[in-house]
Structures are given as structure tokens and as C-alpha cells.
Amino acid sequence: MALQLDKIFVNLPVKNLKNSIEFFSKIGFAFNPQFTDDNATCMVISDHIYVMLLVEPYYQTFTNKEIADASKTNEVIVSVSADSREQVDEIVNKALEAGGKPSNDKQDHGFMYGWSFQDLDNHLWEVMYMDPSAVQQQ
């Protein structure tokens, strides 16, 4: 049997936690106050997916590697699924209105539709919708 884990926590370094919380709140995300202080917050994507936004000095305590300058290099693209094409557009438009930057143009492959943005710290976010009838169940 393949390994199956229950939750995912993505950790992202941010320069200004307050600004990041404000940005993601405008998109519609909520935060768990139990895991929020001056160094970090827990952004709730779903019941099983969370993004820990950590101020850079605190993030640095978890790694011996240099923190990447996301305006110049990329290490990860955070991809999230939406319930419809319209929701993809709604989420990305909210991100852009809240101060995010465009990333890639919309991509329409018929069964799959996506669009992306960069957050305030230049992390890449891909929002995609896939027609459920196009996905084979195993």
C-alpha cells in the first residue's frame, strides 16, 4: 500500500506578516488564531491544507539554507484547485486587486483551466480547475 498522509503544511517566508495576512484575507482565506503570533500565522486552505506564513528571520530558524529571493528565483509553485473556471478567475482577480502581480496568462486546455499570480513576496500561486468527468477514478 502506498504511503498516505492526512494533512499538508506549506511553509513560506514573508517579509511583512501583517501585509501578507491582509493580502490573503482580501482573496478570501481565513487564519487560525491559535497558530498566529508576531512570527507566523496559519492560513487555512481547506480542512487538510494549510500554509504557514513565517517572517523571514523565524523561517530561517528551520533551515541552514539561504532563503531564496522569490523575485529572482523559484523553488516551488503552490497549486490549489478551484470548484469552477469562474472561481479560478475570481480568486486570481482578487489577488491582483489586493496587490499581487500577474504570473502566467490563463491556460485553457478544455478539460483543465488555470491562471496564476504572485503574492506580495513573489511566491507563485497557480489556481486551477479540472473537469471531474476528465479524471479517471482508480
Q: Topology of 71-138 in CATH? A: 2,3-Dihydroxybiphenyl 1,2-Dioxygenase; domain 1 (3.10.180)
Domains 1-62 and 71-138 share a fold: yes
pTM higher than 0.75, yes or no? Answer: yes
Which pLDDT band holds residue 138 (cuts at 50, 70, 90)?
A: low
- Any idea where the domains of the chain sit in the sequence? 1-62, 71-138
CB 114, CB 126: distance < 8 Å: yes
Tens-place pLDDT, residues 54-64: 999 999 999 99
Q: What do you get for the CA distance between the two ends of the chain, in Å?
A: 14
Q: Topology of 1-62 in CATH? A: 2,3-Dihydroxybiphenyl 1,2-Dioxygenase; domain 1 (3.10.180)
Question: How do 77-81 and 124-130 pair as beta strands?
Answer: parallel
CB 131, CB 112: distance < 8 Å: yes
Tens-place pLDDT, residues 68-98: 999 999 989 999 999 999 999 999 999 999 9
CB 54, CB 14: distance < 8 Å: yes
Question: How do 112-118 and 49-55 pair as beta strands?
Answer: unpaired
* Residue 116 parent element (H or E): strand 112-118
Tens-place pLDDT, residues 2-26: 888 899 999 999 999 999 999 999 9
How confident is the model at residue 72, as a pLDDT? 95
